[in-house]
A and B are shown apart, each in its own frame.
Chain A
């Protein structure tokens, strides 16, 4: 089974802090994604990566950046955290050429910015 592991389940950070959310997958998937989940808004794509060192903006990239130095790891970075970034963050992975394979999700990181 594919396993997508997010390093923290809960994080509490202060406004202005630099925040790193880490995600690791163990199935050699080329594609990795960061989503943000908010009540009433569903999941919104922040960034995705289709290869090492490659990244593309999703629908809501403002205030975020990402890093993919190794195939198995995809990091989401909040350069200067703000209260409106309090949310649940979900990482997912997907194989290249996977056709109708499902996205594989981690269990999420609930971030609170105070």
Chain B
């Protein structure tokens, strides 16, 4: 079945450092890919998405490119802030299920220190 693998955390960075959180997937067909973020004490919220190969999703300085050849969707940010400290989840949605039933990775906690 479909699956998502993301790097284990926590990822600990200093403010203004460059961030990469790796995500790879296994899926049949042509899934859509998502990054969700969970701030402390809150539910998940969509950070960015990409619906087809070579698409780049971006939001709040974060970017991720849908790479079909490497089945990857790595999250990047050029300069992190303390307020980016959160748990980040990579997820995929299948066209066959109307993108409703997302498959999530295990989450990567990011800790940014001043």
Interface on A for B, CB 8 Å cutoff?
4, 31, 33, 35, 40-45, 48, 50, 58, 90, 92, 94, 97-103, 105-108
Among A40, A45, A58, A103, the residue within 8 A (CB) of B44 is A103
Q: Are B105 and A42 in contact (CB under 8 A)?
A: yes
Spot the interface stretch: B14-22, B61-69, B70-78, B96-104: B96-104
A90 touches B44 (CB 8 A): yes
B34 interfacial by beta-carbon distance below 8 Å: yes
A41 close to B106 (CB less than 8 A): yes
Whether B46 lies near A103 (C-beta < 8 A) is yes
Known A42-B104, A42-B107; judge A100-B49 contact (CB<8 A): yes
A48 pairs with B49, CB closer than 8 A: no
A102, B43: Cβ atoms closer than 8 Å: no
Q: Which residue of B lies closest to A56 (CB)?
A: B101
- Which residues does chain B contribute within 8 Å of A98, judged by CB atoms? 98-100
With CB as the reference atom, state the residue of chain B lying closest to A108: B43
Q: Show the binding face of B for A, using Cβ within 8 Å.
A: 32, 34, 36, 41-46, 49, 51, 89, 93, 98-102, 104-107
Question: Are A100 and B51 CB-contacts (below 8 A) given A42-B104, A42-B105, A43-B89?
Answer: yes
- Give the CA-CA distance A100 to B36 in the complex, in Å: 14
Whether A100 contacts B44 by the Cβ 8 Å rule is: no
Q: Give the nearest-CB partner of B43 in chain A.
A: A105
Closest Cβ of chain B: how far from A9's Cβ, in Å? 8
Please, which residue of chain A has its CB at the minimum distance from the CB of B41?
A107
B residues less than 8 Å from A99 (CB atoms) = 98-99
Shortest beta-carbon distance, A100 to chain B, in Å?
A: 6
B37 to chain A, nearest CB (A): 11
B99–A4 contact, CB under 8 A?
no
**Which of the residues B41, B51, B100, B107 comes within 8 Å of A31, measured between beta carbons?**
B100
